[in-house]
Structure 1
């Protein structure tokens, strides 16, 4: 008898399951565009919204409305504003401190009003009559803080180099004053408030100075109605030095 035929059963192959389409992620940071606050920035650095300024570009305040956009390096981009060369600007509306750079600039400024608008206005202006661009201008301690803050916000400002020089001169003066080697009108204790040494002042009118002993008596004195330069040597044995109308005394070179 012929052997019985065994029929093999054929099992059907399972259909492949289609993979779900990943949501769009333009910057490839793993956050879908629909949930990404900064869909084109893989580092997700906070950005300031465009900042509008009302500026005087030579036609009065009603002339130009200029805009500062967020820059690629986290700093605001003032290129459009600087191209217009405004002599002064004012922020339109209110401005919140948003970016890391803005927070850093605000901290350096030593402001206490939670407002960074002034720094934007300083950065926006390109004024050839700006006091800070004068060759011998030295910033005060408050001005040093504010201008350093502005340079943090806009380090490539057209006058950045001159601003830094004004800050540098101001810092030299601040250091001299702290050392008791830069002083003005008044009476000062030698060795306590000011240091002994040779000092000069320039371009004076009605300048009077005197060196005093511990009894308040005059050791030496001098008066001039007008002079280009006045020099005095204060000795360590002097008790006090007093001057009026002489401006600032600084170490002789």
Structure 2
């Protein structure tokens, strides 16, 4: 693989890019450095450079996933497109330490036009709710916490 370097007379651009790569080597992508508004291609390029530059980085598996363009297998509350911003599969809410269950959690699967496929408002789930999502669907989570792919 050959990297293309933009020719520039502004050395600060190159220093900034080097700094981004080093930051990615040291900081978990879950801390949102991969969610910045600079675009997926830019983030993927940073991850690819970080994998090569820091093969023993503490978050190398996450960096490799981003470099390969694979969506995450975990998500927090929010709105997602399955196959683009999260992986298809079965997810379950992860209980926080010491919690006896999940309270007042709402989740929804939607079709490509926004129509509801399935939804639920969980008043209490001792083990946390689980849901299976498929490529092309939307997924919404409110007040549920962190979902982790289990299958």
| Structure with the bigger percentage of helix | 2
Q: Does 1 or 2 have the higher relative contact order (CA < 8 Å, sep 6+)?
A: 2
